[in-house]
Amino acid sequence: APAPLRAWVRARAPLLVLIAIAGVLLWPLVCGEPPASRDHAIHYFQARILVDEMLPSGRLSGWTDRLNHGFPYGEGYPTLGYLWVSAVHLLGFGVVDLRASYAWGLLGVWALSLWGVWQLAALVTRDVLERWQGEADDPERHRIAAWAGCAAALAWLLDPGAARQGGWNYLMFHGVWPQLLSVALWVASLVAIAWCSRAPSLRRIAIAAVLVAGGLLAHPFGLLTTACSALSFAIVMAVADDARTRPGRFRVLVAIHALGVALAFGGLATFLAAAGEMGRSPVAWSELGELAAKLATGDLFTGTWVYAGAFAVIGLGLALWSGRTVAWVCASTAIGMLVLASQDAITVLRLDLLTAAFKNLQFPRFAIALKPFVFAFAGVGVTVVLRAAWTSWATRATSVRRVHRVFVAIVLAPVLGAMLGRLDLFARRPIGAIDTLADSGHADDELALREALQAEASTTAELRVAFLRSGMGGGTYPLFSIADAGGAAVLDGHVPTVNFVYNVERRAPPVLRRLGVTHVIHDLPLPDEEGALASYLTPLGVFGPYSLSRLDLPVESGPRFARGTGSFRELERGPQSLVLEVETNGAELSLSRAPSERWQWTLDGEPLEPIIGSVPGGGIDLLGVELLHGGRLELGWAMGELERRGPWISAVAALLTMLALGFGRPLRWRTRAHDRNTVLIARMVLAAVFVLLVFGVLRRQRHQLAVTWNEYAAERAARHGARALELELVDDLGITGEVAVEASDRRMCDGLLGRDVLDDCEKGDHLPHLSFVFVEPYIYRCTSFGVAPGQTVTVRLGEPGDEILAFVQRQRVDASRRDMRFSWGGAFTVLGNRRAELHLKPKQHPGGAELQLVNDGGEVEDVCIGAGRFR
């Protein structure tokens, strides 16, 4: 090849390698074929709601009745992700099919995430090489940085992942891609901030702010990741940058994040207002010590290539050694994310007492935000190590004899020959597994189902299809058909990606009739207990594993009197409003929509309290109101002051951003030196602000801790009729360290007791330590410890004379076995699935509250005890 072509290929070889591999793995997305596995169908359904209902009504969020009995669309999870995947369809005015737009949107998510990881690795590599080789600019250095970026991007692209830990398994097969979009935008913002801190301009500040806003709006995790990285930038700039330009860099950092938060303010205000109605419980990961040990040994993540973990440790060490801003920011952000991901965020930092949003977190999902840094460090490590090895070999190696080469070829031939036959294992499933309808052989069945639904929609006033899945494990792709047929859907049980607290719990005919269901799709023969439903179904066809039937029940989806009598006339109906003229002498009126804290009733202008109703037999919560007399009844969707002002704040910020994009001239750093007294005063002010902030945080945590325990005491009193209503928290005994565990001398992981005793058994995991449990609606700290087979454990709570409320809970997922017993001074009681609640009074325990636990089984049992001292 000509020399110019060789030079061009050599300079772009890393990019060409990445594009080639990514093109092969992501080819279905390139062709516009969307994945149809797991949550993708539900995401697509919500994208269709955005395109068909929200945007035409001038909304990005708010109530919709198109799924179940309604939910607040775009409030539990922001709308940016659905705008992203619908962008090509919207910008093309519908010329491009929404399914192709969805596929290309996912391709854009992958491209942005790969670009961000590449740039992170390249920036850190340049920092390391500058420390190693000096400040002089060198083209070879840029080529090495490019290969580091390529290696990091490939580690990201070839990550199989695991449940709640990202990678192909979680982000593509399970379809949890909105968090990947948030992480991709966030990482891109870090790159933009790094570039801006070196050569700032108004345009670069605006671009970085837009990316910050995108990371905040794409997924709730963006709030935590952005806060962590902003703090890392501030700390690193304070210790690593030139003191003469430090004030200017701080101003740029503040400007970027202030503008980014302002751009996202409208969406953030809505999300924070609705966070309390998310139907999600916390999922713990591990203690910080365990996570740190796994990071050091290279096996922090499940399924990741072992090379990535090993080289990431080397890359992290090089980043810390470099002493440069970007490298230190990446390292400190990664460590900060590790702290937030650990149980210590709850047990030590007690962040749940600052904001209730922590009760919704699945902490293993912090891995998705951690991986860009880990893979960037891996790219740095492998590139620097290979470069050093190559340089050393080139300068010191002697010529190799031909016989040596022949010997090596003979030794490796069997292995290499066999390996060439199984190259698929280098990208084993789920890597590259994009399960589309065409590739899975379901395209014809889905098309026929869609056409059947469209035909039914033409003769049905409002097509509403109940999709009765075989539990959470069933397929979901019929939702594509329902969405494109313009129908509404009803899904029983928990609905992923929606996570609304009010679900449809039963498939009974009264429930479906009240929801206005007209058709039913089910993937298995209906079980015997649903025989009543089967008698109302008229089969319309079988489409692959799915059957479509018409539900022959009269629809009762309008308002109705659940108790009492009367009449009403509908005067007005809107997406988030309803006006009725009611005549009654007293009744309970019920709607076929879900309750929400935002619904507000008024009768002739006077506010009424919403109530929650249901249907005979239960299975669904419905919005209702108690009426003492008739009149003009109005239902409205309430919005707080911040929600009303938020869009205006975002609009002003967007205008400023567009103006800033027109100014690309570089800004010059001011290098004015300050005298020592000015610096001293500034430091004293910062120290005072820090002390006040810490004091405020501790005070807030103390207050919220009392609220959680006092509500626990009040709720327990309501159930048991005790006098706990009069109690007031003094201390959480887990936090004060007054839960003393005394165990008999028994080996925790005894290899003599069975074949599999040592599997996944570490003594340190079962030593007493602070953990947490979720008792709706709060997180409570508790002391967790293991009880070995045949072991008796004594637990002392507080001091003599203390009045204590406590609970005992087994940590096993399936705790149905009856081999754990406990006692608090009397006979032993079986500790089963349910949490045991205790009120330990001083008169009953004059020597101090004491519990005993006995494990009669053959396996280690972990138990968590939470306790509060009251007065």
**Distance between CA atoms of 232 and 250, rounded to whole angstroms?**
12
Bridge partners of 563, per DSSP, are: 588
pLDDT band at 617 (very low <50, low <70, confident <90, very high): confident
Residue type, 422: R
Cα–Cα distance for residue pair 772/461, rounded to 1 Å:
50
Instruction: Name the burial class of residue 98, with classes exposed (0-12), middle (13-18) and buried (19+) by CB atoms within 10 angstroms of its CB.
Output: buried
- What would the two tokens of residue 30 be? 């390139």
Query: DSSP letters of 152-197?
Result: HHHHHHT----TTS-HIIIIIIS---HHHHHHHHHHHHHHHHHHHH
**Are 209 and 256 a contacting pair, CB within 8 Å?**
yes
The radius of gyration of the chain's CA atoms, rounded to the nearest angstrom, is 31
Long-range contacts of 745-749 (CB under 8 A, 24+ apart): 746/788, 746/789, 746/790, 746/791, 747/788, 748/786, 748/788, 748/860, 749/860
Residue 192 binned pLDDT confidence (cut-offs 50, 70, 90): very high
- Do residues 183 and 372 lie in contact, with contact meaning Cβ atoms separated by under 8 Å? yes
Cβ proximity of 588 and 625 under 8 Å: yes
- Return the DSSP state at 832: -
Provide DSSP, 430-465.
TTT---BHHHHT-HHHHHHHHHHHHHHHTT-SS-EE
Give the separation between CA 650 and CA 657, rounded to whole angstroms: 10
Residue 628 has pLDDT above 90, yes or no: yes
> What amino acid occupies position 333?
T
Structure token pair of residue 256: 């970027």
Inter-residue contact 783 to 741 (CB < 8 Å)? yes
Q: 56 φ, ψ to 5°?
A: -60, -25
**pLDDT tops 90 at residue 194:** yes
* Burial of 96 (C-beta count, 10 Å sphere; 0-12/13-18/19+): middle
324: amino acid identity, one letter: R
Most trustworthy range by pLDDT among 108-122, 129-143, 674-688, 785-799: 108-122
**pLDDT for 677 beyond 90:** no
84, 192, 237, 329 from 229: Cα distances, Å? 24, 13, 12, 7
Query: 585 pLDDT exceeds 60?
Result: yes
Residue 528, φ and ψ in degrees, nearest 5 = -60, -35
Give me the helices (H) in 201-324, please: 202-218, 221-240, 246-274, 288-297, 306-322
Task: Answer yes or no: is pLDDT of 297 > 50.
Answer: yes
* Residue 564 to residues 139, 580, 617, 624, 795, Cα–Cα distance (Å): 83, 17, 19, 13, 55
pLDDT tens readout for residues 777-831: 899 999 999 998 889 999 999 999 999 999 999 987 665 677 889 998 888 999 9
The alpha carbon torsion through 340, 345, 350, 356 (nearest 10 deg) reads: 50
Note the pLDDT of residue 400: 65
Instruction: Report the distance separating Cα 790 and Cα 125, nearest Å.
Output: 55
Q: Parallel, antiparallel, or unpaired: how do β-strands 803-810 and 861-870 relate?
A: antiparallel
Instruction: Return the residue matching tokens 């009681």.
Output: 829
Q: What is the pLDDT of residue 20?
A: 96
φ, ψ for residue 730, nearest 5 deg: -105, -50
Instruction: Tell me if 308 sits within 8 A of 373, measured CB to CB.
Output: no
State the DSSP string of 477-517.
THHHHHHHTT-EEEEBS--TTT-BS--B----HHHHHHTT-
What is the token pair recorded at 145? Answer: 């940085």
Parse the chain into domains and list their residue ranges: 74-390, 441-551, 560-591+599-637, 725-748+765-870
Strand 62-64 relative to strand 599-603: parallel, antiparallel, unpaired?
A: unpaired
Region 692-702: mean pLDDT is 94
Report d(CA 260, CA 213) in Å as an integer: 5
Q: Is 112 exposed, middle or buried (0-12, 13-18, 19+ CB in 10 A)?
A: buried
Reading the block at residue 259, the tokens are 């503008």
Q: Which of 241-255, 701-715, 751-765 is the least confident region?
A: 751-765
Tell me the mean pLDDT in the region 101-109. Answer: 98
- 388's enclosing H/E stretch is helix 366-396
| Highest averaged pLDDT of the listed ranges 55-69, 302-316, 459-473, 670-684 | 55-69
Q: What is the mean pLDDT of residues 107-130?
A: 95
Going through 499-621 in order, the beta strands assigned E by DSSP cover 519-522, 537-543, 546-551, 560-564, 567-574, 577-583, 587-590, 599-603, 606-608, 610-613
- What pLDDT was estimated at residue 723? 54
Of 857 and 812, the structure prediction assigns the larger pLDDT to 857
Judged against a pLDDT cut of 50, whether residue 724 lies above it is answered with no
What burial letters (b/e) apply to 226-262, b meaning 16+ CB within 10 Å?
A: bebbbebbeebbeebbeeebbbbbbebbebbbebbbb
Q: Which residue has the higher pLDDT, 663 or 720?
A: 663
pLDDT of 495 higher than 60 = yes
Could you give the CA distance from residue 604 to residue 634 in angstroms, rounded to a whole number? 8
* Per-residue pLDDT tens digits for 530-562: 778 888 999 999 999 999 999 999 888 889 999
User: What is the 8-class DSSP label of residue 670?
Assistant: P
- What pTM, to 2 d.p., does this model score? 0.92
Contact 246/622 with Cβ under 8 angstroms? Answer: no
Check: CATH 1.10.10 for 725-748+765-870?
A: no
Nearest to 486 by CA among 98, 829, 147, 9: 98
Residue at token pair 């713990």: 284
Predicted confidence at residue 205, as pLDDT, reads 97
- What is residue 201's DSSP assignment? B
Residue 802: helix, strand or coil by DSSP? Answer: coil
Distant-in-sequence contacts of 656-663, Cβ < 8 A, 24+ apart: 656/259, 657/206, 657/209, 657/210, 657/259, 657/263, 658/206, 660/202, 660/203, 660/205, 660/206, 661/202, 661/203, 661/206, 661/207, 662/203, 663/201, 663/202, 663/203
The number of angstroms, rounded, from the C-alpha of 542 to the middle of its chain's C-alpha atoms is: 37
Which residue in this structure is represented by tokens 């009069």?
726
Question: First vs last Cα of the chain: how many Å apart?
Answer: 86
Q: What is the mean pLDDT of residues 120-144?
A: 85
Query: Among 171, 206, 217, which Cα is nearest to 74's?
Result: 217
Cα–Cα distance, 828 to 854 (Å, whole number): 9
Mean pLDDT (the chain) is 89
Segment (H or E) for 795: strand 792-797
Per DSSP bridges, beta strands 488-491 and 537-543 are unpaired
Rounded average pLDDT over 102-124: 97
Q: Tens of pLDDT along 233-269? A: 999 988 866 667 788 888 999 999 999 999 999 999 9
Residue 784 contacts residue 814 (beta carbons within 8 Å):
no
